A and B are shown apart, each in its own frame.
Chain A
Amino acid sequence: MNRVRAALPPFAFGVLFLLAWELLVRAFHIKPYLLPKPSGIWSAFTSDMSSMWTVSSSTGLNALIGLLLGTAIGLLLAFAASRFRLLAELLTPMALAVAAMPIIVLVAIFNNLFAITSSVPRRLMVTVVVLFIVLINVMKGLTQANATQLELMRSYGASESAVIRKVRLPNALAFLFVALRQAAPLAVITAVVAEYFGGNQGGLGSRITSAISTSKDTTGWAYVLAACLVGITFYLVSTVLEWVAMPWARNRSRT
């Protein structure tokens, strides 16, 4: 019941926002190429659900493959870096530099490396973005174990592998999900933006560009709506995974 009550204000705000948007566009006769009506966007969205689904799932697949690959590589590197100090010292500045760069421009380079119809450059781009988020967070989680807990384990005469299993891994799990909650929607955004840079016409990004360049603005906005929905889905799935994987953190208020 409390959850329903907590969800009510933002829901009401969303409805009011859409209503105000609709009324403003109607009242001031704003042209669709400037700002289409929400009702118009909705009917464009629902008019061809099957193609909307095809295009969305193409983007979703690019984001998902990149997300899985980036998470896997990020995890591997984080484990290696927590084992070998030299690797950590080499990777950390690079990870921070990459985090500060608009690395999306790499798509242009990846596009030159692969065939024009290939989806690989987009997936690669998502992989790179996700990889560094996972790497930085999980590395922190593996190395920043609680000092008291580590001393306790030593006092029990625990082996190094027991310390990893009982302390470092569960500790790093929370950091992994912090990374995933951030990386999952970002994977979708990255996929959409990567599709902007030309290449095959499969994804939402490509459809948004072509819709806008052919003055089908309302259709363009419908694709934007689809991109939002895919992003929200990714975020929700990552929180559900967290809920399943970390039962101890379920009712704890997030700090």
Chain B
Amino acid sequence: MSAPVDIVGISKVFNAGRSNAVTALDDINLNVAPGQFVSLIGPSGCGKSTLLRLIGNLTEPTAGSVSVNGKSAAHARLDGDYGMAFQQAGLFDWRTVSRNIELPLEMKGFDKAARRARAMDMLDLVKLREFADHRPWELSGGMQQRVAIARALSFEPKLLLMDEPFGALDEMTREHMQSELLRICATTGTTVLFVTHSIPEAVFLANQVVVMSPRPGKIAKIVNVDLGQRNDDTREDAEFFKKVTEVREALRGYDHVEPMPTRLDDR
């Protein structure tokens, strides 16, 4: 079985060849095993979102190769090998909750009955079935994010790419969503790459925390985490604190680097 994500020698330079050229990623190597939950953490401008977008084939690398499920990133994107969720839920106001979840299925040519059935299953999974025919703006921020996750998983991708999906939520909702995400992934067996700014979030969720450093973006350290079955008590666990400290120390030294803009124009 080929690795869900295999990154070899990836570099990404924005505005290449011009005086304002910026190296966002420099010689990144990363291999993610099936079923793993990998958190990507680092200060603003370390290229963690760019790395995620490269895997999703939303941008092209300057050098190196990305393969997803043994295919090129472009091929994997067209095959629907991954689902994606962003900080903004990005739900479509003109569609009901269930029709939002159906959208990727429409793009992939599922018939109407199959779409509806799948959307209902996904709504059961994220515990929002009674909101199927509501409009997205009638839902709270956390509920909207759950719909976005349901949408990303609706076509049963093996891989889920998440770019700070809980970044705009309050702390209480955020912790609840983390537990929900772990429960959902345990059900579906999905491999997850999860970009975050929050150290506790990165540690709580992951089997592996990839710590990145900025300018140019590099992998500073990979911290392996094994917290077993996680629940609210895990957040007060000695092992949890130990790993949080380890990640924090790996991040230290980059604290006072002036942040770069998080998103650069690559056109």
**B98 CB to closest chain A CB, in angstroms?**
13
* Main SS class of interface, B: loop
Cβ-defined contact, A248 with B135, below 8 A: yes
The interface size bin for chain B is 20 to 34
Residue from B86, B93, B107 within 8 A of A156 (CB atoms): B107
Q: Which residues of chain B are within 8 angstroms of A156 by Cβ–Cβ distance?
A: 80, 103-104, 107-108
The chain A residue with its CB closest to the CB of B87 is: A148
Q: A249 within 8 Å of B by Cβ?
A: yes
Question: CA–CA, A252 to B108, complex, Å?
Answer: 31
The interface size bin for chain A is 20 to 34
Question: CA–CA, A154 to B135, complex, Å?
Answer: 23
Q: B1 within 8 Å of A by Cβ?
A: no
Q: Which of B79, B93, B94, B135 has the most CB of A within 10 A?
A: B94
**B94 CB to closest chain A CB, in angstroms?**
4
Cβ-defined contact, B58 with A148, below 8 A: no
The chain B residue with its CB closest to the CB of A169 is: B94
Question: CA–CA, A146 to B79, complex, Å?
Answer: 24
Cβ-defined contact, B107 with A157, below 8 A: yes
The chain B residue with its CB closest to the CB of A247 is: B94
* Main SS class of interface, A: helix
Residue from A149, A155, A166, A246 within 8 A of B56 (CB atoms): A155
Cβ-defined contact, B77 with A155, below 8 A: yes
A149-178 to B contact mask, C-beta < 8 Å, 1/0 = 101111111100010001100100100000
Q: Which residues of chain A are within 8 angstroms of B78 by Cβ–Cβ distance?
A: 157
Q: Which residues of chain A are within 8 angstroms of B137 by Cβ–Cβ distance?
A: 252
Q: Which residues of chain B are within 8 angstroms of A162 by Cβ–Cβ distance?
A: 107
Cβ-defined contact, A248 with B80, below 8 A: no
Given contacts A148-B90, A157-B77, list 4 more A-B pairs with CB under 8 A.
A146-B88, A156-B104, A162-B107, A167-B92
21 interchain pairs, CB-CB under 8 A: A149-B90, A149-B92, A153-B107, A154-B58, A155-B56, A155-B77, A155-B83, A155-B84, A156-B80, A156-B103, A156-B104, A156-B107, A157-B78, A157-B80, A158-B107, A166-B106, A167-B92, A170-B92, A170-B94, A246-B94, A248-B94
